[in-house]
């Protein structure tokens, strides 16, 4: 419990900690007003039952004189009005607290959610190689909800209810000490026993909920992501069944949590209301008259009306807190304990330009969790403003090499050097700002062509002249202007479903060129294009040669004819190098590759 409190406090930022503390204050006031209301019920009933009591009870007499009432009857009316006012006040305060609390909670949910996404996005690229993004999405969407509503808000409500219970119990003790203690022990005991009994089970439910929810997110992601293959292979039912299974597990866990947390209500209600009769019997047996029984009974019934819901809420909250523990733990872990990495800022405007060479010196790199390194002592040099081709069998390490040059993967040893300047954490963003990169798989936003080419630039800030220039080089401009209904404003659909593979690739090329980078890296950028279109794009790209440093990975070797130099890679090593013609005449493997395609 304490641990949980500490975690919650750690999750809030400084201002919110103070706010949460301030929120507790009106809660305390509301609890006190509430108890005052209850406290005055008894004297009220006493006077209703026996107006002469005013004269016999000292305290009543005091209030009677204070009220300046002309008769006991008038006193009753005044007292009734005061009581009414106090009750209304108590409820109004409660409503106000409720209002503040929900506002506060809404803020917390949005804050934690955004902070979590920010945190995930600030991880290096390697982090995502070992993550299923469905789990991350689930954490951002559902776990933050559990944490903000099910835990932060509940623990604040827990305080309110605890205040209320403590005050009411104190009041009952003042009225009749023995009876109050006796009832507290019984009530507390029953709750304690039930809670001890279900504690472990709640912990398990909590974990079940988190894991089944994760499975649901993943299945949804995969069902829609692979919808084409799924439909073609008639696998809808297969995915549906799995989804149903996880969903059932999730909802039944949730139902169990609800059942467990609300069940004691029924047990306690019978004990409590049964208790009222027991009190009457006890007092009758002790030879009390109805006039003395009635006020005590009144206060108990009224206190019960306040106390029971409070106790039930406390129990419900305690079990929900336990039930949300796994979520809290997860959010805490991801938000607070994982490495603090420098925040991703926007692309810097000062590009690190390359004048002489780009070098990889003695690079050693292995993927996280991989058994053997892809590169060990790998050396590679690219002269500035030349065009370099990279070929090699699949899995040779071409994309990995490019990812290292891009600064996406951090190598275990060695250095990436641009003109004698070692690229490090500080100057990496400037180096990246100078690179245009076309990945093997282009990712498109469900947005307009222009937004996809300018990528990540607000609509009003897009430089349309640059968009068109890039689209022309990518051999895309004519298609956009002649065939698309809204031209550059045509929306491409989720992941570009409304475009052909080749059109998507050309948008990727245009995107890389939009910022007019000094270095251009194409990873299989033309593999989906027909020979004629590819030739046209390669011509356009070779027009840029000797103005830009260009690295081209290609399987189709004719693409590389114009390269200044070609490197052949195999299993993380450069096995041969030369111009297209010399490799053609000297390297058998190269010949085979060239002739195949």
Ligand X SMILES: Nc1ncnc2c1ncn2[C@@H]1O[C@H](COP(=O)(O)OP(=O)(O)OP(=O)(O)O)[C@@H](O)[C@H]1O
The residues of the shown chain that bind Mg ion, judged by CB under 5 A, are 399
- Of 204, 197, 532, 563, give the one whose Cα is nearest residue 386: 563
Which CB sits closer to ligand X, 91 or 393? Answer: 393
Q: Which residues in 280-309 contact ligand X (CB under 6 A)?
A: none
Q: Which residues in 523-542 contact ligand X (CB under 6 A)?
A: none
What does the alpha-carbon distance between residue 538 and residue 525 come to, in Å, rounded to a whole number?
A: 10
What does the alpha-carbon distance between residue 549 and residue 355 come to, in Å, rounded to a whole number?
A: 10
Which CB sits closer to Mg ion, 91 or 399? Answer: 399
What does the alpha-carbon distance between residue 329 and residue 324 come to, in Å, rounded to a whole number?
A: 9
Which CB sits closer to ligand X, 231 or 597? Answer: 597
Q: Which does 367 bind (CB under 5 to 8 A by kind): ligand X, Mg ion, none?
A: ligand X
What does the alpha-carbon distance between residue 283 and residue 296 come to, in Å, rounded to a whole number?
A: 10
Place of tokens 């917390």: 108
Other residues' Cβ atoms within 10 Å of the Cβ of residue 341: 13
What is the pattern of x (binds ligand X, CB under 6 A) and - over residues 386-415?
------x-xxxxxxx---------------
Which CB sits closer to ligand X, 68 or 592? Answer: 592
Binding of residue 560 to ligand X (CB under 6 A): no
Binding of residue 559 to ligand X (CB under 6 A): no
- What DSSP string runs through 390-412? EEE-TTSSHHHHHHHHTT-S--S
Which CB sits closer to ligand X, 125 or 266? Answer: 125
Min separation Cβ 390 and ligand X, Å: 8
Min separation Cβ 132 and ligand X, Å: 13
Min separation Cβ 523 and Mg ion, Å: 6
Stretch (H or E) spanning 211 = helix 177-225
Residue spans of beta strands (DSSP E) within 384-461: 387-392, 413-418, 421-422, 435-438
Q: Which does 506 bind (CB under 5 to 8 A by kind): Mg ion, ligand X, none?
A: none
Binding of residue 371 to ligand X (CB under 6 A): no
Q: Which does 170 bind (CB under 5 to 8 A by kind): ligand X, Mg ion, none?
A: none
Which CB sits closer to ligand X, 37 or 572? Answer: 572
Which CB sits closer to ligand X, 396 or 454? Answer: 396
What does the alpha-carbon distance between residue 344 and residue 362 come to, in Å, rounded to a whole number?
A: 28
- Of 450, 435, 581, 571, give the one whose Cα is nearest residue 515: 435
The only residue of 367, 536, 573, 577 in contact with ligand X, by rule CB under 6 A: 367
Min separation Cβ 263 and ligand X, Å: 48
What does the alpha-carbon distance between residue 310 and residue 318 come to, in Å, rounded to a whole number?
A: 12
Q: Which does 67 bind (CB under 5 to 8 A by kind): Mg ion, ligand X, none?
A: none
- Of 566, 588, 568, 564, give the one whose Cα is nearest residue 576: 568
Q: Which residues in 104-133 contact ligand X (CB under 6 A)?
A: 129
Which CB sits closer to ligand X, 405 or 433? Answer: 405
With a CB cutoff of 8 Å and minimum separation 6, the contacts of 265 are 312, 315
Min separation Cβ 339 and Mg ion, Å: 28
Which CB sits closer to ligand X, 160 or 400? Answer: 400
Min separation Cβ 190 and ligand X, Å: 55
**Cα separations in angstroms, 484 against 304, 353, 479, 498, 499:** 72, 37, 7, 11, 10
| Contact residues: ligand X, CB under 6 A | 129, 367, 370, 374, 392, 394-400, 440
């Amino acid at each position: 419990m304490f641990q949980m409190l500490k975690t919650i406090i750690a999750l809030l930022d400084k201002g919110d900690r103070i706010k949460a503390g301030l929120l507790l204050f009106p809660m305390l006031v509301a609890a006190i007003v509430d108890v005052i209301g209850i406290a005055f019920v008894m004297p009220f009933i006493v006077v209703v039952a026996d107006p002469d009591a005013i004269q016999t009870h000292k305290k009543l007499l005091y209030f009677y004189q204070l009220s300046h009432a002309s008769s006991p009857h008038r006193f009753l009316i005044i007292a009734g009005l005061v009581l009414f006012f106090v009750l209304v006040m108590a409820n109004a305060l409660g409503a106000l607290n409720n209002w503040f609390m929900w506002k506060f909670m809404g803020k917390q949910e949005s804050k934690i959610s955004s902070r979590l996404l920010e945190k995930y996005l600030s991880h290096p690229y390697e982090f995502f190689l070992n993550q299923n993004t469905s789990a991350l999405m689930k954490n951002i969407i559902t776990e933050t909800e559990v944490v903000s509503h099910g835990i932060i808000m509940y623990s604040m409500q827990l305080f309110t209810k605890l205040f209320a219970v403590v005050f009411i119990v104190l009041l009952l003790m003042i009225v009749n000490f023995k009876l109050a203690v006796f009832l507290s022990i019984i009530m507390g005991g029953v709750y304690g026993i039930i809670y001890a009994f279900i504690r472990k089970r709640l912990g398990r439910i909590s974990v079940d909920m988190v894991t089944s929810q994760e499975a649901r997110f993943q299945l949804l992601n995969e069902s829609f992501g692979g919808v084409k293959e799924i439909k073609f292979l008639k696998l809808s039912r297969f995915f549906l069944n799995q989804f149903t299974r996880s969903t059932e597990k999730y909802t039944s866990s949730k139902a169990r949590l609800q059942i467990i947390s609300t069940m004691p209500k029924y047990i306690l209600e019978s004990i409590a209301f049964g208790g009222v009769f027991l009190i009457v019997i006890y007092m009758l047996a002790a030879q009390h008259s109805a006039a003395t029984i009635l006020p005590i009974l009144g206060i108990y019934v009224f206190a019960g009306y306040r106390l029971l819901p409070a106790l039930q809420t406390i129990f419900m909250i305690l079990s929900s807190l336990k039930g949300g523990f796994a979520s809290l733990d997860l959010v805490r872990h991801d938000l607070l304990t994982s490495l603090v990495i420098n925040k991703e800022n926007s692309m810097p405007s000062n590009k690190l330009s390359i004048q002489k060479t780009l070098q990889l010196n003695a690079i050693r790199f292995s993927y996280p969790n991989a058994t053997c390194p892809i590169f060990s002592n790998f050396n590679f040099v690219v002269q500035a403003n030349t065009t370099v081709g990279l070929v090699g069998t699949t899995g040779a390490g071409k994309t990995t090499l490019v990812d290292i040059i891009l600064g996406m993967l951090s190598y275990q040893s060695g250095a990436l050097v641009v003109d004698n300047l070692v690229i490090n954490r500080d100057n990496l963003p400037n180096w990246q700002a100078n690179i245009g990169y076309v990945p093997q798989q282009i990712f498109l936003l469900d947005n307009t062509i222009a937004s996809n080419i300018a990528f990540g630039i607000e609509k009003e800030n897009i430089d349309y002249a640059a968009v068109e220039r890039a689209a022309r080089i990518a051999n895309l401009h004519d298609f956009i202007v002649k065939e698309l209904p809204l031209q550059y404003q045509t929306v491409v659909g989720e992941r570009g479903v409304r475009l052909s593979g080749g059109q998507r690739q050309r948008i990727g090329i245009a995107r890389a060129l939009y910022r007019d980078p000094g270095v251009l890296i194409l990873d299989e950028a033309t593999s989906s294009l027909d020979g004629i279109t590819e030739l046209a794009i390669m011509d356009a790209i070779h027009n840029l040669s000797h103005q830009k440093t260009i690295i081209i990975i290609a399987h189709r070797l004719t693409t590389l004819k114009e390269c200044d130099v070609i490197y052949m890679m195999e299993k993380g090593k450069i096995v041969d190098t030369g111009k297209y013609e010399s490799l053609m005449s000297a390297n058998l493997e190269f010949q085979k590759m060239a002739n195949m395609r």
